[in-house]
Amino acid sequence: MRIVLLSGGSGKRLWPLSNDIRSKQFLKVVKNEDGEAESMLQRVYRQMQAAGLGAEVTIATSAAQVESIRGQLGDKVSVVVEPERRNTFPAIALSAAYLFFEKNCPPGETVVVLPVDPFVGGEYFGMLRMLDEAVQADAADIVLMGVRPTYPSEKYGYIIPAVNRNDLQEIKDFCDGGNGAGENARQDREGISPVMNVLKFKEKPDIHMAQEFIDNGGLWNCGVFAFRLSYLLGILRAMVECGCYADVVRQYGKLEKTSFDYAVVEKAESVAVVPYSGEWKDLGTWNTLTEVMEEKPIGDVAISGDCTNTHVINELEIPVVVMGANDMVIAASPDGILVADKVQSSYIKKYVENRDLRPMFEERSWGEYTVLNISVDGGGNRAVTKKKLVQAGRRIEETRHQHHLEVWTVLSGRAVICVRGRRHDALAGDTFTIERGVAHSLQAEEDTVLLEVQIEEDGE
């Protein structure tokens, strides 16, 4: 079994902490068992490792997110980089080509695809093995995981299994008994198969229809798919030339810009679903994310005792004071400030999606940076001031900038800075001017903070 994690998203629903580069899976606002803050990406990969699945993981993402992934996971996992963002079907198809041509996976191997950011318990990963079993037993061309609903929701799509009412109680009993035990679950309940054929799908129904679906055994569609590698390769070969991985990369723009559900699942001749009743939350909005945040104030925050059910996250270096706020989320970052009622916060996307919002904070493989100021003088010359943190032992690789010069001032730490091939032992207070086209690099010997000013003359 091979696992593909889909890492995408535009970061609009959790603005201002998330943006086009730092999507929700990279936000470190939840804690692990040791009380340490970790991102959803780090949490899922940690859980994968605990389940013995870490070595089988490949992450499909855009070029803009590669640095964030490497910064949080290092070189532990394989990464498939989309030439351009084209939705989940092209991303999964590209991943299939990568597994076949670059990783030499046999055509008959099971591929399980899931989002990179579910908030789940460990039993969720036991279910992945059950999906593998169903695929290898030829239960269907596509096998899905369906979450047993806890309430009628209008936020999720529904999978309607082809079962009669006599079967529904057996399915409920199976779920209530805990279906995350993998191989043992089927043996403990002889005669009860957790694999059901799918009758139909329904996207985000109203509350009354959602309840009707639940009464008929409907399951939430959590975006988890399993299939044989050969199945998707057959679909891909009908669309583009597939002599090697480079062929698929080169023709990526020819693949339909659509979801995997529409392009593959709804057109498949046979689709099955395995029910899952363990912990599962989609932390896609501030309202749902704050449900799992143990700390209500994060950062330099003072909050009065009369505030109830209010979360405040401050990433700025200035204090935030909150008084008399109830059922609110307040978030401040270099990208902006949000003050919202928790319920209303789920509608934030329409207020920010059409704004030209340059990301002001970004994680990189070597650390992170924050844009402090962007200014343009009367002559059209542009200056961008950044504060960079390069973590101990990490390196900004040698590069050359053809369109701007840079001035680096070391604020703290210790590093080796090379300019034009000449090595400099850099300490706090040292300044370096790097002209256009000049090769430069930095190796941090301890955590090093730089003030970087990029100067671009008008017309350059």
228 or 380, greater pLDDT: 228
Joined together, the tokens standing for residue 365 give 């493989």
pLDDT at 296: 81
Express each pLDDT in 52-84 by its tens digit.
987 889 999 999 889 889 989 988 789 999 999
d(CA 220, CA 204): 10
pLDDT at 164: 62
> By three-state DSSP, how is residue 93 classified?
helix
Residue 339 scores a pLDDT above 50: yes
Question: Could you give phi then psi for residue 79, rounded to 5 degrees?
Answer: -130, 130
8 A C-beta contact, residue 312 and residue 302: no
16 upstream amide cis, omega within 30 of 0? yes
The CATH number of domain 2-282 is 3.90.550.10: yes
117 or 409, greater pLDDT: 409
- Burial tier of 347 (Cβ tally within 10 Å: 0-12, 13-18, 19+): exposed
pLDDT at 180: 43
**Helix residue ranges per DSSP H, 183-296:** 183-188, 207-215, 229-237, 245-250, 260-263, 286-289
Express each pLDDT in 173-207 by its tens digit.
655 554 443 333 333 333 345 889 998 888 887 88
Q: Furthest-apart CA pair in the chain: how many Å?
A: 79
- Burial tier of 165 (Cβ tally within 10 Å: 0-12, 13-18, 19+): exposed
CATH code given to domain 366-456: 2.60.120.10
Size of the chain, expressed as the number of residues it contains: 460
In the chain, where the domains are located: 2-282, 295-343, 366-456
d(CA 117, CA 39): 9
Express each pLDDT in 30-41 by its tens digit.
888 888 889 999
